[in-house]
Chains A and B, each alone.
Chain A
Amino acid sequence: MPGQNIIAPETVSKLLCSSFKEDKTRSTLLMREMLKVFVQEAALRSLKQAESEDCSQIEIEHFEKVLPQLLLDF
C-alpha cells in the first residue's frame, strides 16, 4: 500500500498565495484611494463648515452638519 501524502489545507492555500505575482492588486489599491478620499472629504468639509462659522477649532458639530451630504455622495 503506497503511503498517502495528505497535504494540510493551510499549506495548499499558502502555496496558492505565494504564486500571486502582484502583492497589491489593482482593486485593493483603488479601495485604498476610495478610503483616502473619503477621509479627506470628511475632514475638508468639516473644516469648511468650521470656517464658515468663524470657529478656530473644528468641533464635532461641524462634522455632524456635513455628514449627511458626505454619506449621500459616497
Chain B
Amino acid sequence: MQELCIFLFLKFHYQKAQNKHTRLKAAVHYTVGRLCQKIGEEHRREFSRQTIAAIAETTFRECDIFAKDLEAFARHAKRSTVSAEDVKLLARRSSALSNHIQNKSEELAQEQRDSRKKSTVKRKSRDTEEESRE
C-alpha cells in the first residue's frame, strides 16, 4: 500500500514536470513561428512548417545548453546567482554577437539607472510638497 502511494506520488510529479516541459516547448514554438513569419514577410518568402518546427526544437535544446553553461560559469565564480557577466561570457564565440550583447547590456544598465533616478526625483518632490504644506 505504501509503495503504491509512493508510486502514485512520483508519477503525479513526473507528469506535472512533463506538462511544464511540453508547455514550454509549445511557447517556444509559437514565438519562433511569429519571428519567422515576420522575417518571411519582410523578405517576401515563406518558411515551411517543418523548418519552423526544426528551428524551434534547436532553440529549445540550445537554451538547455545555455542554462547548463550559465550554471557552470556562476559556480566557477563561486556565486549562487547567474549574473549579466555570465550571459556576456556565453556570447564569446562570435565577436559580432559579443559586441551586440555588450551593447545591449550597457543599454539596459543605462535604462535601470534612469528609472532609479526618476523614482528618487519623484520621492524628493513629494517630500518637499509635504514639507511646504506643513
Contact = CB atoms under 8 A, between A and B. Distances in A.
Nearest to B119: A21
A74 B94 contact: yes
Interface string A35-58: 111111011101100110000111
Given A33-B104, A51-B45, A67-B58, A62 B51 contact: yes
Contacts of A39: 31-32, 35-36, 55, 59
A59 B84 contact: no
Contacts of B108: 26, 29-30
B105 A30 contact: yes
Contact of B104 (A30, A35, A46, A71): A30
Contacts of A31: 66, 70, 87
Contact of A43 (B39, B63, B70): B39
Interface majority SS on B: helix, strand, loop or mixed?
A: helix
B26 to A, nearest CB: 15
Interface residues of A, number: 34
A58 B88 CA distance: 31
Nearest to B87: A30
B19 interface: no
Interface majority SS on A: helix, strand, loop or mixed?
A: helix
Given A26-B105, A57-B46, A37 B54 contact: no
A60 B91 CA distance: 26
B47 A58 contact: yes
A42 B97 CA distance: 13
Interface in B101-126: 101, 104-105, 108-109, 112
A67 B88 CA distance: 22
Contacts of A73: 93-94, 97
Nearest to A62: B51
Nearest to A61: B51
Given A27-B84, A34-B87, A40 B45 contact: no
28 contacts: A27-B82, A27-B83, A27-B87, A30-B84, A30-B87, A30-B88, A30-B101, A30-B104, A30-B105, A31-B66, A33-B100, A33-B104, A34-B87, A35-B66, A37-B97, A39-B35, A42-B59, A44-B39, A46-B51, A47-B47, A57-B45, A58-B47, A59-B51, A60-B48, A60-B54, A63-B55, A64-B54, A71-B62
